[in-house]
Structure 1
C-alpha cells in the first residue's frame, strides 16, 4: 500500500534522518565502525577505494538496493523510503564537506560504538515506526520482516551480520567484533524504541459516576469503552467496571477528570505494547 503524505509523519522522518546522520558522522564513521547497513558497505568499499567519498558510495549502494527492492517488493514500496535514503546519503556527504571529522572525537572505541549506535538506533526507530526505512539493508530487513514476521530490529541484525563479518577482514578482527556487537545493540535499541512509541495504556475504572466517566471517554477522547460487571468481595455489591485503551496523554486527562468528579474512584492500569482495531491502526 502506498504511504499517503502526512506532514507530521514527514517531519518525524526528517528528524529521524538528522539524528541518524549525526550518530554516523560523529561517532561511527570516524572510528571505522562498520556497524551494518549501507554505511558499513560504504566504509568497507571506501577503505578499498579511498578516493570515493562515503556519501557517494552510500548513494550508489542505495540505488542498487532499490532496484532489488522494487523487483522483489514491487512499485508500491513507496516514495518515502526513496526520499529518506537519498536524504541520508546527501546529509552524510554535506557533513563530510562542511564539518569533516577524519579521526574519532574520543579515543575509546567502545564509547564511540555505544553512543553512535544509541543515536543511530533512535533515528532509525523513528523512521521505521513511520512505516518507511532509511534504505540500504533496512530494505532487506523489511523483506525478512514481511515474510517471517520477525521483529524489524532482529531482521536488521540478520541483514547486517554479513557486513560486520566483512569489516573484520578489512579493518581487523577487533573492529569487526565491535561492529557485530554494535548491530546487536542496534537491533535491541530499534525494537525497544518502536515498542515505546506504540505503547498504549489499558485503564480499568470503578466509579460511582460511571455514566459521566464513560461519556467523557467516548465524547471527549473519542475512545470506546467496555462495561464489565462484577461483585465487590467485601461489600458484596454489584460493580460496573469501565475498561478502555488510551494513549499516555489521554490517560492523564482521564485521571484529572476523575479527580474532579469522583476522587474516590478506583483505577488500575497496565501497559499494552500493541493495539489493533477501531481507533488504532493496523
Structure 2
C-alpha cells in the first residue's frame, strides 16, 4: 500500500501542535478556563480532579482513531495520528515546563482572547496540513470531506455542548462565558487560517481577441479556460466571454498576458474561496480517498 506523507505537511502539523498545546496549557489551563471538544472535557477533569490533560487527550482519542481510519483514508489517518500524538506530547511537555505570563487572573478577557488566537492558529495549521489533533477535529474533517461543512463551524457547535458541561461541572458562569469567548475566537481563527492561501480569482474576459487570449492562458499559464456565450446589451453583439480561475500568485501574469494581446479587453476579477479539481486540489483529494 502506497502511503504518501509529505515532509512539509508533517512539519506544519508539528508546528501547529506546538502552538495549540502552548495555548491550552499556558492560557486555558493556567487561568482555570476550559475549552471545547474533548480537550475541554480533559480540562474539566483536570480542574476537578487534577488529571493530566495530556493523558486524557490520548485516552479520548483511541476510539476516534478508528473513525479516522475508516472515513479519512490511510494518508489522512496517518496525518491525524501524527497530529494527535504530537499534541499529546507537547501538552505533556508544557505541563512540565509551563511559561509564566504573569497575567492578572482577574483579566480573563485578555486570557480568553490570547488562548483563542493561539488555539485557533494551531488547529487551523494542523487541519490545513491534512491532520487533526484527534477528538472533534476528526469529526470536523469527516464532515468537511463528505458535506463540505466549514470545519471551524462544526468544531464550534460541538464546543457549545462542552460549554454546557463546563457550567454544570464547575458551576461558574464567569468561567463559562470567558471560555465561550475563547472558543468563539478560536473557531473564527480556524476558518481564517483554512481559507488563507486557498483564495483564488475567477477572471471574466471579454475581447475580440478571445481565441488568442484563451490559447495563451492554456499554453503560458497552463490553466483551463471556459468559453461562454455572451450578448452585449448596448452593442447588441454576440461575443464569447472567457472564464478561468487562477491562484492569487498568478493574477499579475494573467493581466500582463491579456494586456499584451488586447490592451482594450474587458476583464473582471471575482474572488473564489474554494476550488477543486486538476491544478488546484486534485492531488490532495486523491490522497484523502486512497486506500479505501
Fold equivalence (TM over 0.5): yes
Instruction: Between 35-44 and 180-189, report the one with greater CA deviation.
Output: 180-189
Deviation at 1:86, TM superposition (A): 0.8
| C-alpha separation in 2, matches of 1:258 and 1:36 | 49
Whole-angstrom CA distance in 1 between matches of 2:162 and 2:142: 17
Cross-structure match for 1:28: 28
Whole-Å Cα distance in 2 between the matches of residues 104 and 72 of structure 1?
Answer: 44
Which residue of 1 is the match for residue 117 of structure 2? 118
Write the distance in 1 (CA, Å) between the matches of 2:148 and 2:271: 22
- 2:10 paired residue number: 10
Correspondence 1:29-108 to 2 at 5 A: 29-50=29-50, 52-66=51-65, 69=67, 73=71, 76=74, 78-101=77-100, 104=103, 107-108=106-107
Task: Check 1:143–1:243 CA distance in 2 against 1; reply closer, same or farther (3 A cut).
Answer: closer
The separation in 2 between residues aligned to 1:272 and 1:70, in whole angstroms, is: 29
What is the root-mean-square deviation in Å for CA atoms of aligned residues? 3.2
Contact 2:35 2:41 in 1 (8 A): no
**What CA distance in whole angstroms lies between the structure 1 residues aligned with 2:99 and 2:249?**
42
Unaligned ranges ≥5, structure 1: none
Aligned in 2, Cα 1:99/1:181: closer, same or farther, shift over 3 Å? Answer: closer
Distance 1:64 1:32, change over 3 A: farther
Q: Could you say if the C-alpha distance between residues 277 and 144 of structure 1 is closer, same or farther in structure 2, counting changes exceeding 3 Å?
A: closer
The residue aligned with 2:244 is: 244
SS of residue matched to 1:223? coil
Q: Secondary structure at the match of 1:198?
A: coil
Pair 81,104 (structure 1): closer, same or farther in 2 beyond 3 Å: farther
Native 8 Å contact 1:157 1:183 kept in 2 = yes
How many correspondences in the alignment?
280
Structure 1's 19 and 175: CA in aligned 2 closer, same or farther, altered over 3 A?
same
Measured at CA, do residues 148 and 234 of structure 1 come closer, stay the same or move farther in structure 2, by a change above 3 Å? closer
**Counterparts of 1:71 and 1:78 in 2: how far apart (Å)?**
5
Q: Which residue of 1 aligns with 2:158?
A: 159
Residue 14 of structure 1, CA deviation: 2.7
- 2:173 corresponds to 1:184: no
1-structure distance, mates of 2:13, 2:4:
13
8 Å CA contact 1:32, 1:171 repeated in 2: no
Unaligned 5+ residue runs, structure 2? 286-292
Query: What whole-Å deviation, never above 9, does each CA across 1:223-273 have from its counterpart, x for those lacking one?
Result: 101223445555555544321011111112212334555443321111122
1:113 Cα offset (Å): 1.1
- The Cα of 1:74 is off from its aligned counterpart by 8.3
Q: Distance in 2 between matches of 1:210 and 1:197?
A: 29
Which deviates more, 244-253 or 128-137? 128-137
Residues 119 and 260 of structure 1: is their aligned pair in 2 closer, same or farther, counting only changes over 3 Å?
Answer: farther
Counterparts of 1:229 and 1:71, CA distance in 2: 46
| CA gap 1:12/1:219 in 2 versus in 1, 3 angstroms | farther
